[in-house]
Amino acid sequence: MMTIQQNVNLLPYNTFHVQAMARQFAAVRNPGELDEVLEVCPPQQQPVLVLGGGSNLLFVDDYDGLVIRNELMGITVVQEDDEYAYVQVGAGENWHRFVQYCVQNGLGGVENLSLIPGSTGASPIQNIGAYGVEVKDVFHALEAFHLGDRERTTFNLEDCEFGYRESVFKKKHKGAFIILHVTFRLSKKPRFNTSYGALEQELEKMGIQELSLQAVSEAVIRIRQRKLPDPARIGNAGSFFKNPEVDLSVYQQLKKDFQNMPGYTTGEEKIKLAAGWLIEQCGWKGYRQGDAGCYEKQALVLVNWGGATGRQIYQLSSEIAESVEKKFGVKLEREVNVIGSHLR
């Protein structure tokens, strides 16, 4: 019989390392255990939160409900042809461990996503991305378990409605499913994506003459380790805000007042701004308020220097967003999922 624990401190289960108590907590290792937990604690009777690596959320309150920690493991090649290998990965697997598996086995497509914290099951929810690559580029399908009717459903690429850091699981299906496993389509004949400026420079600095999966992955790891704090040492959830998109006309107007403002074309008459640059221009980089702060090497990352509460970090994020809107007229949207009774 599954053990459902009462009043569990979630500090070890979130990379911000903030204190928050869960009224009920269960770690599930297979679909059978998940079914058992939901039999005893039906979602109709209390809120349910599915927790993976805890690397993209901020608790601002205790959680008055059931927290299910997804620990479904396994990495298996389920199909292959001359071009591709289809690899099925348990949702509880560590994302970087899966990337390393691909690099070591000569499977291309996720090397640019090295060292992103969190679990594999969370990767399609967030459509994680870095250095010119997003999960949707290698996604094939996933199987998910509906918390309400306890039925399994398969989602293909189209079903997931991927967007920039978006998917159907953050919109109409938010909180409705727990992902069991994800299948990725990986290339046996890798085509490298190194057009991102910082990545090109890093590979050059490493003296790489011939590109390989190992070289690209190592370059990404080096960049991330320099720019971003290790969550094991300093509490954080990576990029706290999304890079905002504005109309080309808005960007052109902003450039008149802020000539150095970077911008990246994303589509028809749209420009993506660098949220970190906007925040830095407002003087927040390296700022500290008690134990809540803005990382000194990357303004986009909010940190917990030890004893900050979720509310203190949330309050700091609100002040940062207000200052950016006041200076640039641009609204910042949180990338991190805020878990609380009334704060969003």
> pLDDT of the chain along its 344 residues, tens only?
678 999 999 999 999 999 999 999 999 999 999 999 999 999 999 999 999 999 999 999 999 999 999 999 999 999 999 999 999 999 999 999 999 999 999 999 999 999 999 999 999 999 999 999 999 999 999 999 999 999 999 999 999 999 988 999 999 999 999 999 999 999 999 999 998 889 999 999 999 999 999 999 999 999 999 999 999 999 999 999 999 999 999 999 999 999 999 998 887 789 999 999 999 999 999 999 999 999 999 999 999 999 999 999 999 999 999 999 999 999 999 999 999 865 54
- Is residue 335 annotated as part of the catalytic site, yes or no? yes
- Say if residues 18 and 308 touch (Cβ distance below 8 Å): yes
In order of their start, the domains of the chain are 5-70 (3.30.43.10), 75-227 (3.30.465.10), 235-339 (3.90.78.10)
Q: What pLDDT score was predicted for residue 302?
A: 98
Tokens read off for 8:
């569990």
Q: In which residue are the tokens 């996503």 written?
A: 113
Distant-in-sequence, close-in-space partners of 66: CB < 8 Å, separation ≥ 6: 4, 22, 23, 24, 25, 26, 37, 41, 43, 46, 47, 48, 49
Cα(117)–Cα(100) distance, rounded to whole angstroms? 13
Active site residue 239: yes
| The residue type at 297 | K
Please state, in angstroms and rounded to a whole number, the distance separating the CA atoms of residues 104 and 110.
Answer: 12
β-strand pairing of 84-90 with 292-294? unpaired
Nearest partner of 220 among 192, 247, 241, judged by Cα: 192
Angstrom distance (rounded) from CA 70 to CA 31: 10
d(CA 29, CA 35) in angstroms, rounded, equals: 11
Q: Give the pLDDT confidence score for residue 266 in this predicted structure.
A: 82
The answer to whether residue 123 is catalytic is no
The one-letter amino acid code at 58 reads: L
Cα separation of 129 and 112, whole Å? 8
CA atoms within 13 A on the CB side of 319: 15
197-205 vs 213-227: helix axis angle to the nearest 10? 110
Give Cβ neighbours of residue 201 (< 8 Å, ≥ 6 apart): none
Q: Which of 342, 340, 253 is nearest to 49 (CA)?
A: 340
d(CA 244, CA 262): 12
Active-site position among 33, 218, 245, 335: 335
- On whether the CB atoms of residues 309 and 318 are closer than 8 A, the answer is no
Label the pairing between strands 129-130 and 235-239: unpaired
Q: Which entry of 114, 167, 239, 317 is annotated as an active-site residue?
A: 239
Q: Are strands 57-59 and 337-339 parallel, antiparallel or unpaired?
A: parallel
Predicted local confidence at residue 27, as pLDDT: 96
Dist. CA 10–CA 20, nearest whole Å: 5
- 3-class secondary-structure state, position 156: strand
HSE-up of residue 222 (Cα within 13 Å, Cβ side) = 15
Tell me what pLDDT residue 297 has: 95
Amino acid letter for position 56: N
How high is the pLDDT of residue 55?
93
Task: Give the model's pLDDT for residue 78.
Answer: 98
Task: Single out the catalytic residue among 165, 185, 224, 334.
Answer: 165
d(CA 139, CA 72): 19
**pLDDT value at position 344?**
44
Helix axes 95-104, 213-227, angle to 10 degrees: 150
Residue 144's beta-bridge partner residues? 153, 179
Nearest one of 87, 84, 71, 70 to 183, comparing CA atoms = 87
pLDDT of residue 200: 94
